[in-house]
Amino acid sequence: MHRFLIALILPFAAGVPVAVAGGQPDQQPRTVRRVLQRGAPLWNNDWSKGAVFYEVFVRSFADSNGDGTGDLKGLIGKLDYLNTGDPATTTDLKVDAIWLMPIFKSPSYHGYDTTDYETINPDYGSNDDFATLCQEAHRRGIKVIVDYVINHTGSDHPWFVDAASSPTAAKRDWYVWSPTDLGWRQPWNLYGGSDTWHQNLKDGQWFYGVFWAGMPDLNFRNPEVRAEIKRLAGLWLSRGADGFRLDAARHLVENGPGLLQVDQPETHAFWREFSFSVRSVKPEATLVGESWTDTPIIATYYGSTGAVPGGDELPMTFDFPLAAAVIQGVNGQDATVIGSKLAEVQSTYPAGATDAPFLTNHDQIRLATQLGNDGSKMRNAAAILLTLPGTPFMYYGEEVGLANGSSDTDDRLKRTPMPWDASAGGGFTTGSPWFPFSPGRDTANVAAETGDPSSLLSRYRLLIRARHSSAALRRGDLQILASGSGQVLSFLRTTPDERALVVHNISGSLQTAGPFGTATTVFEPVFADPGVIFSPFGTAWRVSLPARASAIWRLK
């Protein structure tokens, strides 16, 4: 017999956890503690630390059969664009890994309402196609992580179809139920957000779905749910996946209205349990969590880096505040906002944590649009991203200046087809694309930018190679330097064997930065924009940088 979530206002006010279907709030943490006491395997995923990831929306990347929808075979055909596997080639991006947005069976264009966790979306191909993708990617040195959407399923998932059929259904406890509407609002918009409880018309009772009724939340207090989620993760790891991007990482367990819907102890307990399971199955895998919130809360999702180096919860989390700071700083010609956010990360994240910086993703207005399609600003932002500590993520098309559609109200306009060339099908399809291309693709496309050494695409290629060439850029610590100007971002990246000085002018005018006091007398250029001048200044050094210019030196 299932147990309903009981609405008790007094316990909410007193901070007392409320009983939820599937068990009491403190049962899961005790279970996890017992598991960890048996000895946790450690991460063996050094490949991901400092690597460059590339986010792919398969539907919009490349179409192999002319039906207008991107697919896995199309992606396989474009792998050499991402990385040929040959260090000598210069026409590829040289990314280390790809993140595939949802590829499991789903009725929607976006795929975040999974209806079958074991099967590739037929729009994209087959399970065999996924196996081939992993083989071909791995042959080129590219790792593959997949979006794992487990906070909720689609309402058409057989689990929920069963759960909604009757209060005594076998899967009833796999979701969260109440006999009444508890009136909670979405925690990210408590006063204007949507309701999170939805009525089941078959029996009049209410189920919880924080995003909407078409995405009912799973009940992570239920050990059967937790076991199945871990089993499915192991299945895809055995099929070749190298890890997972974890959607809505803050939202697994709820203890009441408002902010009691996010960041709960039981949520952290499950991530420890899940992390342990992944490390047990494939310790070389990695995880990256989506926790769209402030830096101090993001930091908690690493868990303990003392118990497990890298973190006993998630070894990477996306840095949303830093992304916003970089765009704000580049747009406003203000390096201090970026430096301050980097300092906050340094002082807040646990020791040994790997940051996951990025500029934009599929949920945000595209970078080119936010920066007013200003090429110099886009080059600026690219240089900052690819010199930061941690593991940078790029969104497909960002490297050619792909802009949003004509409105930012529809998520599709952030996920338009990749412009490979300026032809009618854009090199994306021989048919009609599933959704119109974004404006500006006559010049913002791969073919147009490939042969142009001054293009944004060429800049990304050079910067990623520079990152790979320097151990300090890939894995080094960060020391923010006083630049003498609020419009120059300067820092040292340091490993035991190498130091690199990085300087970015984020203004539209010539800037002089420094002096930088150092005993170093040999500065080996790793990357430098035209016109950058590095010169002695007494016993120190100064740098002159043209507008929006960047430079990196290896200090010897």
Output the DSSP codes for 127-176: HHHHHHHHHHHHHTT-EEEEEE--SB--TTSHHHHHHTT-TT-TTGGGB-
Report the catalytic residues: 247, 290
3-state class (DSSP) for residue 58: helix
Cα 180–185–191 angle (5° rounding)?
Answer: 135
Cα 416 from Cα 464, distance rounded (Å): 24
Give the strands of the sheet with 523-528, arranged side by side. 477-481, 488-495, 498-505, 550-555, 523-528
CB-based contacts of 115, cutoff 8 Å, min separation 6: 104, 105, 106, 107, 153, 154, 156, 157, 158
Helices 456-469, 375-385: axis angle to 10 degrees equals 20
Query: In this structure, what token pair is assigned to residue 298?
Result: 């993001």
**Chain position carrying tokens 């709030």:** 25
Cis-peptide into 29, omega within 30 deg: no
Cα 68 from Cα 429, distance rounded (Å): 6
Cβ atoms within 10 Å, residue 25: 18
Burial class (CB in 10 A: 0-12, 13-18, 19+), 463: buried
Cα 502 from Cα 517, distance rounded (Å): 14
Cα 517–518–523 angle (5° rounding)?
Answer: 120
DSSP-derived letter for residue 89 is -
CB-based contacts of 223, cutoff 8 Å, min separation 6: 22, 23, 31
Query: In this structure, what token pair is assigned to residue 528?
Result: 């430098």
3-state class (DSSP) for residue 311: coil
